[in-house]
Amino acid sequence: MSIPSKIDFINTVARVSPYVHQTPVVTSRLLNEISGTQLYFKCENFQKMGAFKMRGAVNAILQLSDVQKQSGVVTHSSGNFAQAVSLAAKNLNIPAYIVMPSNAPKVKVDAVKSYGGKITISKPTIESREEEAAKIQEQTGATFLHPSNNMDVILGQGTAAFELLDKHPDLDVIATPVGGGGLLAGTAVAAHYFGNNCQIIAGEPFEADDAFRSLEAGIIQYNETANTVADGLRTHLGNHNFPIIQELVSQIIRVEEDEIIAAMRLLWERLKIIIEPSCAVPFAAILREKEQFKGKKIGIILSGGNVDLSNLPF
Amino acid sequence: MSIPSKIDFINTVARVSPYVHQTPVVTSRLLNEISGTQLYFKCENFQKMGAFKMRGAVNAILQLSDVQKQSGVVTHSSGNFAQAVSLAAKNLNIPAYIVMPSNAPKVKVDAVKSYGGKITISKPTIESREEEAAKIQEQTGATFLHPSNNMDVILGQGTAAFELLDKHPDLDVIATPVGGGGLLAGTAVAAHYFGNNCQIIAGEPFEADDAFRSLEAGIIQYNETANTVADGLRTHLGNHNFPIIQELVSQIIRVEEDEIIAAMRLLWERLKIIIEPSCAVPFAAILREKEQFKGKKIGIILSGGNVDLSNLPF
């Protein structure tokens, strides 16, 4: 049993809350009509640095010893976790070393720079990222923070769902995207302790459906390619979050690229908020499986809003 | 003296409030840093149908007699007021006839249709719009509602600034865009009665600077052309709102098209919300006149969020 305890989760909420925004939850009558459900969107696009990843980064950094803090932290990330670690580290006045793949969106690279993160560019493969991060770790003594496969990060990400359930304790379903698995696992832990029979589902692009295949196979699977517009979802699960997902997540629904783009556009037009393509994936999943969710109260974690406006998919 | 009384204004707030969203006010540390001011953005992009114009439309329609309501209402508008009248009329189950210019953004025409407004397309001139509206008025007996030069509409638009001042009574300045003048005049009335020495300013595109020239000349001026990205600001002032603006507005600041687009992009990227180009005009004005506003607490009415995503200026 690898599920963190309720007391660990509550301690995380207490630790993280002072350092993050308690983001709003928005609704739309028209989107309810279109989906045949009642939707509650948790707006982590309004979180500090523009994504839920601030929560996990804050929690992981706050758990370091004073000695560890002196040597700083290092991570690799396609974007949002890099910003989160940079900003959290800046606020605590410790160095942050960030490995970013060469295909990371420019808006995210610029943001990391603006938060004072020291950037190393890697090849756009997981292997190259990990290699560069290991080098830095060795040279500087910095503590490595994994963007999704770290229990403190997982617990931190779960605090968004905790806030959502605190406002809407009777949700039938909470849906998140799944990339590295940190948000999904954290959300599942929150709902396990604070939901009322709340089912946890995830949306995933067909183009990067490693998590779906992992659940089917019972062992972690990888993506050979990941040509999806949902740039936050190109990574794979890890040994800390996979067992939680296996135990607590009821299904992963895969969606096509055109479904993701249409869902993203609908959210922009109707909610008047800016969200990343990855955020649109769970909403696209609900629209794809309308019959299954008819009449249900569904929370959706809108994971982030860091979009390159010069490179929109519509 | 053509300024509506305080009691008329208070009655308007009481009449309109149950039918509109009390929209949130958002802030951004980074935008404060960039501008050297403290900015409070009143998010009318989250208003019903996506713009402040819902307020004026609701107020004007609620003031009709039962007999008038039976014959319905007619208006001409480049977009947001058309949607507002359509939606308010739909909610009250009365017919709405809408004249829209042939260059109105598609997203706005579609929205009017979805709210059940009966559309007539006119040439893209004020004269053609007015002609078509007069014809419909004659044929149907519908009451004509002017988008900006109608005292009930002006009072209704002012309720956004009332809510803003209710939350932040110590604002030094409130800034709005100026197109037809309804929002600016209504905001000025609200600040006159509920502000604490609160200065009212407006932003206006150089490309459609009729309001600036009207204040200079002391008589209403018109635009010969209006080639501005701020499509909501192509119209001119009227005899009901101009005297209020003359009396209560301290200055109109003109901005270039590239300043509007840069300001719009900055608001999208930093606030993570979708706003129309027109909304960016007062913010662009503050940035242009930074020295003048240094250290001040400034409210900005973000007037709407109905943007054609297929036709963005960046």
Q: Dmax over Cα atoms in chain B, in whole Å?
A: 56
CB B86 within 8 A of CB B115: yes
The closest of A203, A216, A179, A218 to A51, measured between CA atoms, is A179
Q: How far is CA B273 from CA B57, B78, B243, B259, B284, in A?
A: 24, 22, 34, 19, 17
Listed residue (B146, B188, B152) closest to B56, CA to CA: B152
Separation of alpha carbons B135 and B190, rounded Å: 35
Give the C-alpha separation, B232 to A150, whole Å: 50
Please report, for residues A55, A63, A79, A201, B305, the alpha-carbon distance to residue A16 in angstroms, rounded to integers and kept in the order given: 7, 11, 21, 24, 33
* B184 close to B178: Cβ distance less than 8 angstroms: yes
**Which pLDDT score is estimated for A103?**
86
**C-alpha separations of A82 from A124, A135, A238, B147, B296 in Å:** 15, 17, 18, 48, 34
CA B253 to chain centre: 16
pLDDT in tens, A134-160: 999 999 999 999 999 999 999 999 999
Distance CA B203, CA B209 (A): 9
pLDDT at A1: 57
Give, as one character, the DSSP assignment of residue B142.
Answer: P
| Count of CB atoms situated within 10 Å of the CB of B1 | 5
Helix, coil or strand: residue B18: helix
Question: Quick check: do B6-49+151-302 and B54-144 share a fold?
Answer: yes
Starting from the edge strand earliest in sequence, which strands make up the sheet with A118-122, in order? A118-122, A96-101, A73-76, A143-144
Through-space distance between the first and last CA atoms of chain A, rounded to whole angstroms: 44
Contacts of B219 by beta carbon, 8 Å cutoff, 6+ apart:
none
**Hey, of B31, B264, B272, B314, which one would you mutate to test binding to chain A, going by the most A CBs within 10 A of its CB?**
B272
Show which residues on chain A lie within 8 Å of chain B, measured between beta carbons: 24, 45-46, 50, 107, 265, 268-269, 272-275, 305, 309-310, 312, 314
Measure in Å the smallest separation between the Cα of B205 and chain A Cα atoms. Answer: 23
Assigned token pair, B221: 């001026």
Q: Cβ of A310 and B314 within 8 Å?
A: yes
What does the DSSP 8-state code read for residue B304? B
pLDDT in tens, chain B (314 residues): 589 999 999 999 999 999 999 999 999 999 999 999 999 999 999 999 999 999 999 999 999 999 999 999 999 886 789 999 999 999 888 999 999 989 887 877 888 998 999 999 999 888 998 999 999 999 999 999 999 999 999 999 999 999 999 999 999 999 999 999 999 999 999 999 999 999 999 999 999 999 999 999 999 999 999 999 998 898 899 999 999 999 999 999 999 999 999 999 999 999 999 999 999 999 999 999 999 999 999 999 999 998 889 889 88
Chain B positions contacting chain A at CB under 8 Å are 24, 45-46, 50, 107, 265, 268-269, 272-275, 305, 309-310, 312, 314
Nearest CA-CA partner of B64 in B20, B91, B84, B94: B94
Give the class (CATH, top level) of A54-144: alpha beta
CA-atom Rg of chain B in angstroms: 18
Tell me if A83 sits within 8 A of A114, measured CB to CB. no
Q: Is A272 in contact with B272 (Cβ distance < 8 A)?
A: no
d(Cα A237, Cα A294) in Å, to the nearest integer? Answer: 30
- B23 to chain A: closest CA residue: A26
- The reported pLDDT for the residue numbered B1 is 57
| A268 interaction partners in chain B (CB closer than 8 Å) | 274, 309
- The one-character DSSP state at B280 is H
Strands (E), chain B: 25-26, 38-43, 73-76, 96-101, 118-122, 143-144, 173-177, 199-205, 251-255, 297-302
CA nearest neighbour of A94 among A116, A124, A125, A79 = A116
Min Cα separation B36/chain A (Å): 18
Rg, Å, chain A Cα set: 18
Minimal CA–CA distance to B53: which of B126, B121, B154? B154
Indicate left, alpha or beta for A36 from its phi (over 0: left) and psi (-120 to 50: alpha): left
Task: Determine the pLDDT at residue B211.
Answer: 98
- Residues whose CB falls within 8 Å of the CB of residue B294, separated by 6 or more in sequence, listed in order: B36, B37
pLDDT at B167: 97
Residue B264 neighbours by CB under 8 Å, 6+ apart: B275, B277, B279, B280, B313, B314
User: In this predicted structure, what is the pLDDT of residue B243?
Assistant: 97
CA dist., res. A308 & res. A306, Å (int)? 7
pTM above 0.90? yes
State the CATH class of domain A6-49+151-302: alpha beta
Tokens 């509602």 belong to: B145
What tens digit of pLDDT does each residue of B45-78 get?
999 999 999 999 999 999 999 999 999 999 988 6
Considering only the beta carbons, identify the residue of A45, A310, A312 that sits closest to B272: A45
Which ranges of chain A have pLDDT less than 50? none
For residue A15, give every residue at least 6 positions away whose Cβ sits within 8 Å of its Cβ, in sequence order, or none: A58, A59, A62
Question: Do the chains contact at B272 and A50, CB–CB below 8 Å?
Answer: yes
Query: What is the per-residue burial (b if ≥16 Cβ within 10 Å, else e) of B135-166?
Result: ebbeeeebbebbbbbbbbbbbbbbbbbbbbbe
Q: How many CB atoms lie within 10 A of CB B203?
A: 31
- Chain B's closest residue to A23, CA to CA, is B26
Cross-strand partners of A221: none
Whole-angstrom CA distances from A290 to A16, A269, A270, A299, B166 are 35, 20, 19, 15, 42
- How do B38-43 and B25-26 pair as beta strands? antiparallel
Interface test with A, best of B34, B269, B279 (most A CBs within 10 A): B269
Q: Where are the domains of chain B?
A: 6-49+151-302, 54-144
Strand partners, A202: A176, A252
How buried is residue A291: exposed, middle or buried, by Cβ count under 10 Å (0-12/13-18/19+)? exposed
